[in-house]
Amino acid sequence: MKKVYILLLFLVAAIPFFSCSNDGSPEEPMLIIKFKFDENQVRLNNLGQPSVVATGNAAQSPVFNTISSHYIELAPNANTQLGSGTIIYHAPETNLGGTTAIDFNQSKIVAEGETFLKIPLSQVASGSYEWMRVSLSYQNYQINIRHQNVDYTGTLASFVGFNTYITEFNIGNNIFQVNGNRAQGYWAFGLNNQPYSASGQAPAGTTTVPNPIEATSPIPRNLNTCVVTGKFASNLVINGNETDDVVITLSLSVNNSFEWQEVTADGKFEPSIGENVVDMGLRGLIPSYVR
């Protein structure tokens, strides 16, 4: 009985240490950012209004593999100008390509539900935040294409950041050597399990960037930033006294987010006959949080 009593005392004494870090101090509460992709979420235009596919174009809802972001900001209200909120993330940049660009080699790329960002809540300014701004930079997803009346599935790498410095990257066994900057709208494609690949550039200024508060907090279009803006259902309040983690989920609309100009009006993306990509922008952001 004495041995059992001693064992119980040991277990009770050990419990507090399970929530401590390696140095014995309590773990600090964190702000955690994750992504979600929703093909059923409303499809928005640049002004944050519901939109349909443009006449003469066709679109599909891609199946996302991974994504990356260049910039994340919390905004107190609809009058908070870009850059005047609380910036919680800014990806590495480089001038190796001649002008400032996102450094793709250092970009953090994650799948749905994986942690993209984890920082101490003590690094987030106290305040009440109504809006969230997220600048997307890279997307990797599955799309369907047609070639010579046969349908295939392939993987598309989509670079929607303002400017990206790329050395090389691969899609399956297809290696794309760039060694330079690529403007917003650069894309590369490879058929799954087939020896076919292609790359191209969407027209400048055609990437959709939904911003429901464009009237009061515009995103400068000349910067070609992919800053998607979304509103919390209820304000995210950071008071500086948090004891638990705050997990923010960024739900992105992929509702017909891959859009092309049709040559044959059949709703099938057929690059071999000259059908060109015109828009790869995400179609809306709904941020939510749990404590």
HEC letters along 109-176:
CECCCCEEEEEEHHHCCCEEEEEEEEEEEEEEEEEEEEECCEEEEEEEEEECCCEEEEEEEEECCEEE
For residues 223 and 162, what is the distance between their CA atoms, to the nearest angstrom?
Answer: 7
Q: Provide the domain count of the chain.
A: 1
pLDDT tens digits along 50-81:
999 999 999 999 999 999 999 999 999 999 99
The residue length of the chain stands at 291
Host domain of residue 248: 30-290
Confidence of residue 258 (pLDDT cuts 50, 70, 90): very high
On whether residue 6 sits in a domain, the answer given is no
Confidence of residue 27 (pLDDT cuts 50, 70, 90): confident
154 is written with which tokens? 């392939």
On whether residue 246 sits in a domain, the answer given is yes
Q: Is the pLDDT reported for residue 14 higher than 90?
A: no
On whether residue 1 sits in a domain, the answer given is no
On whether residue 20 sits in a domain, the answer given is no
Predicted confidence at residue 272, as pLDDT, reads: 87
List, as one string, the DSSP characters of 87-115. Answer: EEEE--EE-TTSS-EEEGGG---B-TTSE
Q: pTM for this structure?
A: 0.89
Q: Cα(first)–Cα(last) distance of the chain, in Å? A: 42
Q: Average pLDDT of the chain?
A: 91
On whether residue 19 sits in a domain, the answer given is no
On whether residue 12 sits in a domain, the answer given is no
More confident residue, 19 or 209: 209
Q: With beta carbons less than 8 A apart as the criterion, state whether 165 and 94 touch.
A: yes
Report the relative pairing of strands 30-38 and 246-253 from DSSP bridges: parallel
On whether residue 122 sits in a domain, the answer given is yes
For residues 218 and 77, what is the distance between their CA atoms, to the nearest angstrom?
Answer: 13
Predicted confidence at residue 147, as pLDDT, reads: 86
26 is written with which tokens? 């309590």
pLDDT tens digits along 209-252:
999 999 999 998 767 788 999 999 999 999 999 999 999 999 99
On whether residue 13 sits in a domain, the answer given is no
